[in-house]
Amino acid sequence: MKDTDRLRVASLQYWLRPVKTFEEFAQQSTDWVRNAADYKAELVVFPEYFTLQLFSLDDPDKSLPELVRAVAKYKDRYVELFLGLAKKYKLTIVAGSIPAEGAKNLIYNESHVFSASGGHGVQQKLRMTRFEKEDFIVSTASPGKLRIFEAEWGRFAVAICYDVEFPEIVRAAALEGAQLIVVPSCTDDRQGYYRVRHCAQARAIENQVFVVQSSTAGGLSRYPAASLNYGQAAILTPSDYGFSRDGLLLEGIANTETMIVGELDLKVLKESRSRGTVLPLHDAQTSEVMSRQVEIVQL
């Protein structure tokens, strides 16, 4: 019988390198899923925009919006690839994210989730960075729903990179029973990476959830916006008895091609929510309630 109190997760530091065909991209992805399965992972996480590796199949002189739209045309093949991998290796895959064309010819940033049983769900990015809006011309999610995914071991949500910087998004997921927040991220420098990382740690503490972050590394030197990546995969925990020291279960060596594998104790998480040293999820008030209690004091 499967132990639903423990979950083994694998998180990638995915190396962006030039590829000559979609099949080459598919092989790199397949190799990592197979490696995760070899380590008995039940969940494997790819980073945001790792699919920009497919820029290298196109002309580097094209504009960024043109390159992004070109990658979006591979969405069906991407879905077919990862749906097959999840079934073959009998695990759940959060397949990073891919640009996707939606209504009115708009482009969205979508994270696709695949299960061993053939389940397939989509979480669109809810908040766009300035670069995405102004340079990629990627649109804010419409209708902008936060989805909670139900697995046999429990509930989880996907907060794509910048989304984890907004406390209300993760709080909503935790209040709906999410025990894990998956954060596929793509950042080009240390400052950007640590904005995401520090916010991910804060979300783990204030919502008493596990957070798994996956990051891009490497780069495509001929393609703007994919030329530099700063990344480090991490598995973060609440900061309390029963969890890892400093709220860090595991992290990779920054800016290398690797995968980290860790085991989450969901029973300890459940107990911490009712018997922890502090109970931030239970004791929280909404921003709306708190705003009515603000008083300005003139000094």
Tokens of 251: 């992290």
Reduced to 3 states, what is the DSSP secondary structure of residue 126?
coil
Tokens of 273: 């929510």
User: What pLDDT score does 188 carry?
Assistant: 97
Give bridge partners of residue 113 from the DSSP assignment.
94, 121
| Rounded Cα distance, 147 and 294, in Å | 32
CATH topology classification for 6-291: Nitrilase/N-carbamoyl-D-aminoacid amidohydrolase (3.60.110)
Residue 48 among the catalytic residues: yes
Could you state, in order of their start, the residue ranges of all structural domains in the chain?
Answer: 6-291
User: What pLDDT score does 135 carry?
Assistant: 97
CA dist 12 → 80, 93, 237, 262 (Å):
20, 11, 18, 12
| Given the residues 42, 132, 161, 165, the one annotated as active site | 161
User: What pLDDT score does 98 carry?
Assistant: 99
Amino acid at 18: P
Q: What is the DSSP string of 163-219?
A: GGG-HHHHHHHHHTTEEEEEEEE--SSHHHHHHHHHHHHHHHHHHT-EEEEEEEEE-
User: What pLDDT score does 2 carry?
Assistant: 66
Tokens of 278: 């502090």
Residue 125 among the catalytic residues: yes
Question: Which regions in the chain score pLDDT beneath 70?
Answer: 1-2
User: What pLDDT score does 144 carry?
Assistant: 87
| Given the residues 48, 110, 132, 165, the one annotated as active site | 48
* Global pTM exceeds 0.75: yes
